[in-house]
Chains A and B, each alone.
Chain A
């Protein structure tokens, strides 16, 4: 069903079930986000996507990645108040991920260059690095890759993302999807010596070579795709692009 509403005074249309953030972006409005990706379920963890939404005469500031479009709402994507709130949220996030370039860049856009807050101590069990607990890696691995290698473990100051038993997750196919979506670039994904490594999870897998001896993807990943999509046994004789 088509839903009609306004963003910054501009009349827009979307399908019911769409999120405000995706619709706004489709119309070219700029809303920052760290924990959002179109392809996975919204999670509302980072609070950076705050906007102002007026519904039935009531105005409130709310996250819009997990706000479904509604007929007749008015969305404002930027204002002094929104700016102030986003700056505050970013200052908190910067304290968690002071070395993460993408976070630093976004925070700087809101005038935040240093955080007044202390960096949270890593829990006893796991290293946090620059993880901001946005859960994108978990959602991508669960919903898209569907191997469920990752989850949130522990709680409180001990909370972190990773494989079960804080070990290298055995179901990880080293596809790199989590590293690709991570908003703080804190997972780390490299290919070297015929191995593919997902650093944060400690997962290393040997790569399959194509006919010309060029490594192009982890064996385990290819095997998984073959099983999942019922591909012929010799499908990977040639690497993608050379096929």
Chain B
């Protein structure tokens, strides 16, 4: 990744090491994951050991150390969504995207993930695509949404 972007993020927090967590989050927001070179860079810049950053990154579920896709599809597998067929949606997306749940497609376009309840149970089953919440989803609607993203990528 472009390390000047990391520099800019660190600058936003006045290079303050107590903002480490926020800096890590911002870097991840840009790249969808925490690249190793960014971790090393943050370590040098803030004078925080790599061991500590890695420790934090592996403690919080929300950090990812492996590259993730440009588009993130998250299927809610909480109880409410589960009983409304979330499992089938996961399997549907696995076929649609040709990737196992938890994985990323080879072309780094899509990552398929599961989450356990996002607190919008009334809308279940729920799928979050690139931060956008889709309530009461059906396989047909998912197919459409994925197709849309694919054509948009293809057209770019």
CB atoms of B36 and A151 under 8 A apart: no
Residues of A within 8 A of B (CB): 142, 148-155, 158, 163-165, 169, 171
Query: Cβ of B139 < 8 Å from any Cβ of A?
Result: no
B39 and chain A: residue at smallest CB distance: A164
CB atoms of A171 and B49 under 8 A apart: yes
CB atoms of B51 and A163 under 8 A apart: yes
CB atoms of B59 and A154 under 8 A apart: yes
CB atoms of B49 and A152 under 8 A apart: no
Residues of B within 8 A of A (CB): 36, 39, 49-55, 58-59, 65
23 examples of A-B residue contacts, CB within 8 angstroms: A142-B49, A148-B49, A148-B51, A148-B52, A149-B51, A150-B51, A151-B49, A151-B51, A151-B52, A152-B55, A152-B59, A153-B55, A154-B59, A155-B58, A155-B59, A158-B58, A164-B39, A164-B51, A165-B54, A165-B65, A169-B51, A171-B50, A171-B51
B54 and chain A: residue at smallest CB distance: A164
Least CB distance from B138 to A in Å reads: 34
Q: Could you tell me the distance between the alpha carbons of A150 and B51 in the complex, rounded to whole angstroms?
A: 6
Number of residue pairs A-B, CB distance < 8 angstroms: 35
Q: Could you tell me the distance between the alpha carbons of A149 and B50 in the complex, rounded to whole angstroms?
A: 8
Tell me which residues across on chain A come within 8 A of B55, comparing CB atoms.
Answer: 151-153, 164
Tell me which residues across on chain B come within 8 A of A169, comparing CB atoms.
Answer: 51
CB atoms of B52 and A154 under 8 A apart: no
B53 and chain A: residue at smallest CB distance: A164
CB atoms of A153 and B49 under 8 A apart: no
Least CB distance from B68 to A in Å reads: 17
Q: Could you tell me the distance between the alpha carbons of A13 and B7 in the complex, rounded to whole angstroms?
A: 53
Tell me which residues across on chain A come within 8 A of B51, comparing CB atoms.
Answer: 148-151, 163-164, 169, 171
Contact with B58, one of A148, A149, A153, A171 (Cβ below 8 angstroms): A153
Tell me which residues across on chain B come within 8 A of A158, comparing CB atoms.
Answer: 58
Q: Could you tell me the distance between the alpha carbons of A142 and B52 in the complex, rounded to whole angstroms?
A: 10
Tell me which residues across on chain B come within 8 A of A149, comparing CB atoms.
Answer: 51
Least CB distance from B22 to A in Å reads: 20
CB atoms of A154 and B58 under 8 A apart: yes
Q: Pick the 3 closest A-B CB pairs, nearest first.
A: A148-B49, A164-B54, A151-B55
Q: Could you tell me the distance between the alpha carbons of A10 and B50 in the complex, rounded to whole angstroms?
A: 48
A152 and chain B: residue at smallest CB distance: B55
Tell me which residues across on chain B come within 8 A of A150, comparing CB atoms.
Answer: 51
Tell me which residues across on chain A come within 8 A of B52, comparing CB atoms.
Answer: 148, 151
Tell me which residues across on chain A come within 8 A of B36, comparing CB atoms.
Answer: 165
Least CB distance from B100 to A in Å reads: 15
Q: Could you tell me the distance between the alpha carbons of A38 and B49 in the complex, rounded to whole angstroms?
A: 24
Q: Could you tell me the distance between the alpha carbons of A151 and B58 in the complex, rounded to whole angstroms?
A: 11
Q: Could you tell me the distance between the alpha carbons of A182 and B25 in the complex, rounded to whole angstroms?
A: 34
Q: Could you tell me the distance between the alpha carbons of A142 and B55 in the complex, rounded to whole angstroms?
A: 13
